[in-house]
Copies of this chain bind each other. A is one copy, B any other.
């Protein structure tokens, strides 16, 4: 999905999909927890993703054939279902991570160039 021509910076969606893959690799967290952790991590940079973008990212990874859903009872005495994820195709996941890295590096380069040239 990191696309071809004329594009500016990496999109939020790809950024979040990357972290969703990472959370699944670490075998932890469902949607809301992922959001909370990301908010904590990136709040210092003024970025706090909202729940819709988190879910859209997860759903898109399913459509991509990278993740699959699995329901699970939540910890504790609450008996409330949450949705957790596993890899449907880990090779695809690794490939996607590689593509996003390329896009992140590209975006960094672009910003760095701007800072160098203007300031």
Contact = CB atoms under 8 A, between A and B. Distances in A.
Contacts of A112: 108
A102 to B, nearest CB: 10
Interface string A24-50: 000000000000000001100111111
Contact of A18 (B18, B107, B114): B114
Copy total for this chain: 2
Given A8-B12, A8-B15, A118-B18, A104 B113 contact: no
Contacts of A42: 110, 113
A107 B9 CA distance: 10
A92 to B, nearest CB: 17
A19 interface: yes
A119 interface: yes
Given A45-B110, A106-B46, A114-B15, A9 B6 contact: no
Q: Which 4 A-B pairs have the closest CB atoms?
A: A45-B110, A8-B12, A6-B48, A9-B9
Interface of A: 4-10, 12, 15, 18-19, 22, 41-42, 45-50, 97, 101, 104-115, 117-119
